[in-house]
Amino acid sequence: MGGNVKNTKLVVITGCLGLIGSHVTRQCLDLGWKVYGVDCCTYAANMQFLDEFGRYKNFTFVKEDIANLKYLPDCDYVINIAAESHVGNSIIDSTDFIESNIVGVKNLLDLIRNKPENVTDRPIFFHFSTDEVYGDITEGEHVETDILKPSNPYSASKAAADMLILAWARTYGINYLILRPTNNYGIGQYPEKLIPVTVKLLNRGKKIKLHDKGEPIRNWLHADDTASAVVTLINSGTYNEIYNVAGGFEQKNIVTVAKILKKYFGRERKLDRFLDLTHVREGQDIRYALNDDKLRSLGWEPNKIFISIILNGKEKKCNYLIKQ
């Protein structure tokens, strides 16, 4: 049975040095919550965030992979953001995705399930899923009750994790929240996702590879808004529920890149000079779109406007969009 989420004072955040994890960690720390950060510090971790968070007295850090984690402190929430998330890498080799996104989630669930008897309240498992678990949709928007139809190894691993959580909840009585966000972007993102990799390739004078001629449509959500959704759900949500979260702005990838080019050079440029449109990705989803009325009914709404972030940054070369 679901219930009202109580106020929290101590949270475990996995993947705290990644894009979304760092934004969630920062907001929790600024609220005065105690944060126990966990990150295995892979290539995508931004170590500058560790220096920043280390200045907070309410932050503790542990370097560990969630699949190998042996200990959870007494806490109110385990916010699991750690994941392998690059679709292209999962198509080449899904091994790390299975280990992190499935085995890692099982380990966290078992750590919660096996909390000592003297711990009266198990933490709530707050899990980050993805819009990709639904598969693509040509018209309309996915709602939380839609059937999952993952199209690639990455999204399949995330869908499998969602199923584990539902099973552990029914079998062992673990309470959970699952958040399914659309494409995130923001400052400090590792340059393998569309927006930061576009900037990186422009800096290096190389062509930008766009899958399927840049036709796929994505819905963009700033990591700050994702983090505020987490806080909203912790303060006002109902556990044992799934919530979508979207930025409310969608466009074709080729249009996104064109806007970055305009900002980068300060004027319109012919796209064919900068793009490589020959690549076709296996299992490519054409369009993601989520209905997040359930979350918005709690008072949440995005504050970061995609176009403003891209076009109104202080640096002409767009380096504010890329991990340095």
CA distance 302 to 60: 29
Residue in 65, 76, 84, 132 annotated catalytic: 132
Dihedral (Cα; 22, 26, 29, 31), 10-degree rounding: -140
DSSP string for residues in 143-191: -TTSPP---SHHHHHHHHHHHHHHHHHHHH---EEEEEE-EEE-TT--T
**C-alpha–C-alpha distance, residues 45 and 60, integer Å:** 17
Active-site residue, 224 included: no
Based on the residue annotation, tell me whether 131 is a catalytic residue of this protein.
Answer: yes
The residue count for the chain: 324
Catalytic site residue from 36, 77, 154, 239:
154
Catalytic status, residue 154 = yes
Degrees, nearest 5: CA angle 112-116-118: 125
Distance of alpha carbon 254 from alpha carbon 241, whole angstroms: 35
Give the containing element (helix H, strand E) for 79. strand 77-80
Q: Cα 289 to the chain's mean position, in Å?
A: 15
> Which of 131, 141, 224, 250 is flagged as catalytic?
131
Produce one character per residue of 31-43: b if its CB has 16 or more CB atoms within 10 Å, e if not. Answer: eebbbbbbbbeee
Report yes or no: 131 and 179 within 8 Å, Cβ to Cβ: no
Q: List active site positions.
A: 131-132, 154
